[in-house]
Structure 1
Amino acid sequence: MGNPKHRPVGYRWRSSKLFIIGTMCIALYAETFLYGFIVPMLGYMFQTRLHRDPSETQWFTSAILAVHGYVSALSGPIIGHFADKSPDRKTPLVLSLVVCVIGTVMIAWCSSLTVLFAGRILQGIAGTVVWIVGLASIAATVSPDRIGTTMGVAMSFVNAGTISGPMASGLLLEWSGYWATWSIPLVVLVIDIALRLIMIEKTDTDQAPSTPPLEETTTLLRETPHQPAAEKNFWKTMLRDSRVIVALAVQVTTVSLSSSFSATLPLHVQKTFGWGTAVVGLQFTYLAVPGLLFSPLVGWIRDRIGVRYPTVVAFIFLSMSLWLLGVPGNDHFPWAGASNRGPAVYTAAIIFYGIVRPFSSGVAPLELTSVVNEYHKKQPGIFGPRGGLSRVFSMIEIAAASGLTVGPIISGFLVETVNYTTMAWTLSK
């Protein structure tokens, strides 16, 4: 162990499990906050700042959201590989913040489509680091019997970011103007930066390089013969496991559905019900608040009965809520017209979807962490001395990125070529 006399000030609480998990939760909050922050503003940005024709807004909205997914899918495996090779997880987290700040400034400046999309690409890279390294840090910090509950708490922060991002921009853009609105992401980033710099991984100071602990030395010596084959066969081993494939498929589906809302909801409710950006922001609040409240409970349930049955039931109810979302404003359902009950029915369907969503999301982190732990029990060191957790979560990030890409493209295409009802009913199947 490192000499306590040479430890940094506040080492005990700065390296505690609670502080590390809390820092990662704030990092996840900041990432989802920034992802959704621009959604209510996109119409204004494309039409007022970039002077694009209003008919192009839906296409550009889908594209700016989908590019985040493309970037995550491409950068995920690379980030996961190098994160597992990195001597600590703090360094990539801090570096990602620099990239995120630059990307956010470029998006706010938004002098051209090129600058806007370049800024979104940088945000996507930074966000991918947070999801991979942040969730890997959480999984490595807690015991297996509490990972469901802990991930549930983390998902509450994710939902909080999902809520507050669109809500803050939607309200402030209407009340305070464009540049005042962008002051909020800066505050979020400053808090995130401070926490990541303060955090200390125990491996930063607990291990003396010249005289490593006996237990660690023994483990590394024992694992050395396995490392070359394990590193080479990580992806092949994991992708041959049916539990991994099913969990990743669930991840793609749930993220696709969620990202479809971001791509289509603002323009649909503005066109159908005449709602402004403030009410659009509230709809995202209704969508995400239940997840904020129920995610820890869902994690607790999963720790005790598993993920299979809650997930199956959740998908049945998700299908019902998506069908209901396609009804308001459709001429074939006069009882839910735009001028009578339509707004109330649409809002009720959004709330219903938000309640059910926590039971279907967050499956992949639990299942894949469980799978990789089982492999390690059978063959210690099979995925290298750091356990391969960063690569595990890069797989999850690739699945999520696929959802972020597919969701906006499919939903946007269906809305433009057919109508919103067809889009909602197609997704319900």
Structure 2
Amino acid sequence: MSSERAEMRLLDYRWRSSTAFIIISITIALFAESFLYSFVVPILPYLLEVRNHVDPRDTVRLTYQILTSYGIVAVISGIAIGQSADHIKSRKLPLVLGLGVAFVGTVTLACATQLVSGVFIGRFLQAIGGTSAWIIGFATLRDTIEAKDMGKAFGLVSGFSSAGAMSGPAIAGLLLSLAGYWATWGAALLVLLLDIAMRLAMLERPKKASKASVQEAICEERNEPTSQPAGANEETGLLSDVHTQQYSTAVPRENLTKNDVMSTKSFYRVILGRPRVIVGLMCYMVYSSLHASYNTTIPTHVRSAFGWESLQTGLLFSALQGPTLILSPACGWLRDKVGTRLPTGVGFLLLAPLLWLLGAADQTRYPWAVSGEYAEVTYALTIVAIGCAQNLIASVGSIEITCAVDELERDQPGIFGPNGGYSRSYALSNMSYTMGFVLGPLISGSLADAIGYYHMNSIFSGVAALMSLLAFSFLEGKSPVQRKGDDVNPDAT
């Protein structure tokens, strides 16, 4: 009976600490963060005008302020979250706390009847919780996966994050019209509860495999009897079917002194002193800026140029985001094989003419716009092509900064402390991505109003060409870290 109980517990450890379950849990966490970010958009007019009695003339201004405030809070809180997370041994506690903050923020926003104390504070809490999920989720993912699989994993997460951002407004609008206000918020809270439940079920990987645990994994592969290590608990997880991160260190991480560990100020100076990191973060910010600018400019342009209403516009955004779900893992595989330089450079190189064509699709001086039908087809096909090309750029900031941290850890093991520097790194990549989402609508909206949609896209085309040149010149995107724990030869024991 005791052996059956031990076997059941062993199986429980194995699936809860498996690579697949951890990736699924983190993917759902980041899907939920993106989902919540955009979920509120179609609800805001009702929330402001009906529940908070805002003058309808102020709705557009307040909507912009509420959405922008999310990005500003995310940028400000991200650095503090990354710094704190790298000083906590377990990723579980800060991630669950972050999701809890997002849950409280969502409830506060849903129940808000006061503009400042309810709506803005609720949105601020959502921003802090979502930023925590993003930063710590990526750090947990990096602790789990191999360097050779980083592009595929990050690509998968990026695809589902885009799906969350795309599906949030559609689901919220549909539920609001069919089921009412509270049922709509109930769906968002259900997604968060599922996210929290999976995170509580997930077991973290030890950052360093012990000799005993490697030997246990070997015995289990040979079907030889083995026993559960003494003192195993829910924080240890199993190493029988996983690869864990291991560095060849002169000083064990747990024995590091303050003099061995890089200070916070030095961390940012060293990381941001690398051109590959700066260019990677710039590429990431331009990518998210373009992404956000589509939401600002496409609906108004297609309405004025082609007379398209919400249905056609929604289908257009589906065509823009749809390729991400299919192509993100494939582009991630490509980044694993060749690094980020070639995919990112080619991605921006393809975007340069496509962005220009997006603005020129309805310009009658060009042959494809001799009739309205040709112009519409040209515009729609260009949107699909952009949706495909942008996958080559996705996750470039996160991957490039990860590789830089791996390189520093290889050259000076333990330099970032016993818990590594991934959370601080992903705080920087999250900051660049979020800054793009804040600046994108502001820049694109201002340019479209000042010089027109065609000239705005011509400028964006030039920016894409410049980023392609920088990507080809500075990016690398392949991790130097080799995990020696993966190279254990069973026949040698």
- 2:335 counterpart letter in structure 1: R
Q: Contact 1:62–1:409 (CA<8 Å) still a contact in 2?
A: no
Larger deviation, residues 143-152 vs 103-112: 103-112
Structure 1 CA distance, aligned partners of 2:199 and 2:403? 27
Residue 80 (structure 1) aligned to one of 44, 68, 82: 82
What is the 5 A alignment of 1:296-307? 296-307=329-340
CA distances 1:150-185 after superposition (whole Å, capped 9, x unpaired): 111222221221232233234444555544443432
2:458 pairs, out of 415, 425, 428, with 425
Match of 2:236 among 176, 190, 206: 206
Tell me the TM-score normalised to structure 2 length. 0.75
User: Which residue matches 2:423?
Assistant: 390
Shift of 1:117: 3.0
State the alpha-carbon separation in 2 of the partners of residues 327 and 54 from structure 1: 35
**Rounded Cα–Cα distance in structure 2 between residues aligned with 1:128 and 1:119:** 14
| Higher RCO by CA contacts (8 Å cutoff, separation 6 or greater) | 1
2-structure distance, mates of 1:202, 1:412: 45
| Aligned residues between the structures | 419
Deviation at 1:80, TM superposition (A): 0.4
Contact 1:252-1:400 at 8 Å conserved across structures? yes
Partner of 2:124: 121
The residue that corresponds to 2:279 in the other structure is: 246
- Deviation string 1:26-55 (CA, Å, 9 cap, x unpaired) is 101111111122334556656666666776
Q: 1:355 to 1:55 in 2, by over 3 A?
A: farther
Corresponding residue number in structure 1 for 2:103 = 101
What secondary structure, in the 3-state scheme, does the structure 1 residue paired with 2:419 have? coil
In the alignment, the residues of structure 2 paired with residue 276 and residue 419 of structure 1 have an alpha-carbon distance, to the nearest angstrom, of 20
Taking the aligned partners of 1:329 and 1:249, their CA distance within structure 2 comes to 31
Kindly indicate whether the alpha-carbon contact (under 8 Å) linking 1:231 and 1:384 is maintained by their aligned counterparts in 2. no
Residue 310 (structure 1) aligns with: 343
* Structure 2 residue ranges without an equivalent (≥5): 1-5, 207-233, 238-247, 463-493
1:247-281, Cα deviation, whole Å (9 max, x unpaired):
11111111111112233344544565555545444
Q: Would you say 1:130 and 2:133 are equivalent positions?
A: yes
Residue 12 of structure 1 deviates from its aligned partner by 2.1
- Cα distance per residue 1:330-369 (max 9 Å; x no partner): 6777965996455444333322211111101211121111
Residue aligned with 1:320, SS:
helix
CA contact (8 A) 1:43 1:57 kept: yes
Deviations 1:284-338 (A, max 9, x none): 3222111111111111111111111221121122222322333456677796599
- How far apart, in 2, do the equivalents of 1:73 and 1:226 lie? 30
> Larger deviation: 107-116 or 332-341?
332-341
> Which residue of structure 1 lines up, in the alignment, with residue 68 of structure 2?
66
**1:222–1:198 distance in 2 versus 1, CA, 3 Å:** closer
Larger Rg: 2
Give the 3 Å change call, closer, same or farther, for CA 340–218 of structure 1 in structure 2: closer
Deviation at 1:371, TM superposition (A): 1.1
Q: Which blocks of at least 5 consecutive residues in structure 1 are unaligned?
A: 208-214
Task: Describe the shift of the 1:31–1:167 C-alpha distance in structure 2 as closer, same or farther (beyond 3 A).
Answer: same
Preserved CA contact (<8 Å) 1:256 1:407: yes
Taking the aligned partners of 2:205 and 2:450, their CA distance within structure 1 comes to 55
Q: Does 1:152 align with 2:185?
A: no
- CA contact under 8 A between 1:256 and 1:403: conserved in structure 2? yes
Describe the superposition over 1:225-259 as per-residue Cα deviations: whole angstroms up to 9, x where unpaired: 64344555211111111111111111111111111
Deviation at 1:221, TM superposition (A): 5.5
- Secondary structure at the aligned position of 1:326 is classed as helix
- What does residue 26 of structure 1 align with? 28
Does the alignment pair 1:365 with 2:398? yes
TM-score (norm 1): 0.86
Query: Which range is displaced more, 133-142 or 36-45?
Result: 36-45
Residue 16 of structure 2: which of 8, 11, 14 is its match? 14
- Corresponding position of 1:164: 167
CA contact (8 A) 2:34 2:164 kept: yes
How many percent identity over aligned positions?
A: 40
Determine the C-alpha separation between the residues in 1 that align with 2:31 and 2:328: 14
Shift of 1:62: 3.8
Match of 1:233 among 251, 266, 277: 266
Q: Report the Cα distance in structure 2 between the residues aligned to 1:336 and 1:190, rounded to whole angstroms.
A: 50
Cα RMSD between the aligned structures?
3.3
